[in-house]
Structure 1
Amino acid sequence: MAMFPALMNDTMFSDLFDDPFFAGWRNTANGAADAMMANNMMTTDVRETSNGYDVDIDMPGFKKEDINLELQNGYLTVSAHRDSEHDDKDDDGKWLRRERYAGSCSRSFYVGEDVKESDIHASYKNGTLCLQVPKMQEQPQVEAKHQIAIEG
Structure 2
Amino acid sequence: MSNLRVLDPAFSDPFDAAFRRFFAPMHNEDNQPLRMRIDVSENDQGYQVKADLPGVRKEDIHVRVDGNVVRIDAECKSEKETRGEGDKVLRSERYYGSMSRSFSLASDIDDGKVQASYADGVLSLQLPKKAPAAARKITIA
Verify same fold: TM over 0.5.
Answer: yes
Aligned 8 A contact 1:88 1:97 in 2: no
Where does residue 28 of structure 2 map in the other structure? 25
Larger radius of gyration: 1
Greater strand proportion: 1
Where does residue 45 of structure 1 map in the other structure? 39
Deviation at 1:102, TM superposition (A): 3.1
Where does residue 12 of structure 2 map in the other structure? none
Greater helix proportion: 1
The change in CA–CA distance for 1:128 and 1:17 in structure 2 (over 3 A counts) is farther
**TM-score by structure 2 length?**
0.61
The share of aligned pairs that are identical, in percent, is 31
Where does residue 109 of structure 1 map in the other structure? 103
Deviation at 1:109, TM superposition (A): 2.6
Question: Residue 58 in 1 paired to residue 52 in 2?
Answer: yes
What are structure 2's unaligned runs of at least 5 residues?
1-17
Question: Residue 97 in 1 paired to residue 89 in 2?
Answer: yes
The change in CA–CA distance for 1:95 and 1:17 in structure 2 (over 3 A counts) is farther
Superposed CA RMSD in Å reads 3.7
Higher relative contact order, structure no. (Cα contacts within 8 Å, ≥ 6 residues apart): 2
Where does residue 77 of structure 1 map in the other structure? 71
Whole-angstrom distance in 1 between the partners of 2:131 and 2:102: 20
Deviation at 1:113, TM superposition (A): 5.3
Deviation at 1:123, TM superposition (A): 0.3
**TM-score by structure 1 length?**
0.57
